Amino acid sequence: MTTSIINSQQLSEDLSDSNLRLKDIIKTLPRECFQQNRRKAWTQVLFSVFMVGLGYYILAIAPWFLLPFAWILTGTALTGFFVIAHDCGHRSFAKRRWVNDLVGHFFMMPLIYPFHSWRIKHNYHHTHTNKLDEDNAWHPIRPEVFESWDKSRQFAFEGFMRKRLWWVGSIGHWAVVHFDWRNFKTKDQSSIKLSVAVVVIFAAIAFPLLIATTGIWGFVKFWLVPWLVYHFWMSTFTIVHHTASDVPFVAANKWNEALAQLSGTIHCDYPRWIEILCHDINVHVPHHLSTAIPSYNLRLAYSSIKENWQPYLHDECQFSWSLMKQIVDQCQLYTTDVGYKSFNEYYAER
């Protein structure tokens, strides 16, 4: 997993010195990449609804030994729900805002994810991708920040990384960030309250009904475990998209938007059935160049990017346990202008 350009220190210098602009890259993309197609968008909706429905049907009839397969299928299909809402959050699903908001809330509801709070926080991530101390997605922790924490928080974070618990990371992000409207600007708080109310009302109706008809085990079987599988993919996609030992996070005064989005975003191939159920969200470089590209046009855009900007792209990778082990074991703490180090390296230097 090395870059196609140079090492991370040299890339950091390029990020500050380059005159490359994001609009220069976007201009090279085919116009078709940005065209919304109502048929393709709603076909994705029907496909995801069908696959989630199929997953729940299999859960209902499967013997106990087939439940893991059904949980993986259903949770991965639910990730497709999130990707549709993801397009809605970027206004690339439909031309009318109210359609994006309605569809986005509908598909976030079973995930208990407030649509507007996620949309606002996620757009901030796009504005500050790989900017040190600003990017609010999966971002590195600097040693001096780690040292400022109390012992219990240090212990929790170190254990989280050493035990390779990246797959629960998005649950913490979901719980801490997205339900408190006080974390948002005043002008956004009314929309945040609306989105929180939508998921709270959904949960207040759906969960008691599910428990009343299927029991506590039914709640675990039909909602909790598929939801955990969905968060596995959320956590995995998020960390893999921007984390490698040679991908720099750059201070604001050295940050270049174009190179951060182009070189700091990683394309990772997954088994094709996962890519289909998740609507190619792993084809992530085009999405970071322009959020106006709908998910069904990501592969077209990426082909153009590879043709025109290959020297700037990070090497592609293949999803595997060894990849996740490498990322989590190496990318534990981050020293500004130097790069990642493991906890073992950190303690050895002290």
Q: What is the mean pLDDT of each run of 10 residues along the chain (350 residues)?
A: 40 54 93 97 98 98 97 98 98 97 98 97 92 88 94 94 93 92 92 97 98 98 98 97 92 90 95 98 96 97 96 95 95 92 92
Q: What single-letter DSSP state applies at residue 33?
A: G
Measured CA to CA, the distance from residue 314 to residue 329 in angstroms comes to 20
Measured CA to CA, the distance from residue 104 to residue 108 in angstroms comes to 6
> Which of 79, 75, 45 minimizes the C-alpha distance to 59?
75
Measured CA to CA, the distance from residue 218 to residue 207 in angstroms comes to 10
Rounded to the nearest 5°, which phi and psi values hold at 4? -80, -5
Long-range contacts of 6-12, Cβ-Cβ distance < 8 Å, separation of 24 or more: 7/246, 8/245, 8/246, 8/247, 8/248, 8/339, 9/248, 9/337, 9/338, 9/339, 11/246, 11/248, 11/259, 11/263, 12/248, 12/250, 12/254, 12/337
